[in-house]
Amino acid sequence: MFVTLDPPGDHASVCPRCGATVAPGARYCGHCGLSIPTEGRPAAPESPNLPAPTGYEPPAGDGLVADFILGLELLKRYPAMVMPPLVAMAFMLVVGLIFFGSAATMITVGGLSRRAGVMVGAALGGVFLFLVCFAGALLINLVSSAVVVVMAREALAGRRPMMGAAYGEVMGRLGAVVGASLLYALIVGVASVFLFVPGLVAAFFLMFALPAVLLDRLGPIDGLKRSAALVRNNAGRAFGLVVGAIVASVAVWMISAILHALSVVGHLVSMLLAGAFVAYLTIVAVRVFQTLPVRRPA
């Protein structure tokens, strides 16, 4: 957030919208982006570590409809937020080509040798390569999602999101991000083993784990607890977010199906649409996370 010099004795305040602690002299809440009056105090030089102000302040509309509209407005204003999902898709395509090419080579070599040892080695090598490629693809997708979360925070706070800075911040919290994601997958997976519905319930309560880890700088376990508490105390709005995401997903799927029926250009446009949709839903989810009425420490 942008700061100003304060006279001695100023104290931190509380954001009237989300309840987060706001540093003395702050012009914007670092959590929800609400403009904070500074009562004419002189501005100090901005920190070189923060992006320059854009002159844009996100509207403060209430309700899920306003959140979805705001997400679209910010995506149009900052189209660079589509880049992380597209980069992840490109990397995953490369990883897939490497896997299938290498697997085909090993199978061919094993088959031509006609020796059991070579064939077994080729099969084991293919399994190992699959596991490595699968883990790499998951990590790439996770980092991409985390980067969009950080960029969404910047856009919602009225700052221009910078992809390079977002990647740097995510890499600094990579351990916590991976830890929270593994715990999320473990909990949802174990719940799904018994019945499908408990798995959905677990995923519902833990949907804000990634924003909690990145934006509130919590550890993996505390991030999961924060998400569960937010959803438990705001189940109606959280459920509305899920319903809205499902409706939007169906619409995007129908458009993508039409595009896939066209030429190669249609496939490329469909990929671009998928990246934009991922960024869009992330912006909306971060907006909801920031504005849920549960007080969070700075």
Phi, psi of 159 (to 5 degrees): -115, 150
State whether 107 and 192 are in the same domain: yes
Decide if 56 is inside a domain: no
Residues 157 and 16 in one domain: no
Residue 28's pLDDT is what? 56
Q: Are residues 106 and 33 in the same domain?
A: no
pLDDT at site 50: 44
What is the reported pLDDT for 231?
93
- For range 187-206, the mean pLDDT: 86
Give which of 48, 214, 78 is closest to 142, Cα–Cα.
214
Question: What's the confidence (pLDDT) of residue 44?
Answer: 36
**Structure confidence at residue 195 as a pLDDT band (50, 70, 90):** confident
Report the number of distinct structural domains present in the chain.
Answer: 2
Answer yes or no: do 45 and 106 share one domain: no
Residue 99 falls within a domain, yes or no? yes
Residue 296 lies in a domain: no
Position 46 pLDDT exceeds 50: no
Same domain, yes or no: 145 and 90 = yes
pLDDT band at 297 (very low <50, low <70, confident <90, very high): very low
Q: What is the pLDDT of residue 150?
A: 94
> Does some domain include residue 297?
no
Same domain, 176 and 279: yes
For residue 59, is pLDDT > 70?
Answer: no
Do 141 and 29 have their domain in common? no
Q: Averaged over 46-60, what is the pLDDT?
A: 47
Rounded average pLDDT over 195-200: 82
Indicate if 98 and 184 belong to the same structural domain.
yes
Residue 58 lies in a domain: no
> Which pLDDT score, from 0 to 100, does residue 78 have?
93
Say which residue, 44 or 266, is predicted with more confidence.
266
- Mean pLDDT on 243-268: 84
Q: Do 36 and 177 belong together in one domain?
A: no
Together in a domain, 43 and 74: no
* In a shared domain, residues 26 and 125: no
Q: 11 and 88 share a domain?
A: no
Task: Calculate the CA dihedral of residues 239, 245, 247, 251 and round it to 10 degrees.
Answer: 180
22, containing H or E segment? strand 21-22
With 0.75 as the threshold, say if the pTM is over it.
Answer: no
Determine the Cα–Cα distance for residues 264 and 260; give it in Å rounded to an integer.
8
List the domain range (segments joined by +) for residue 108: 64-291
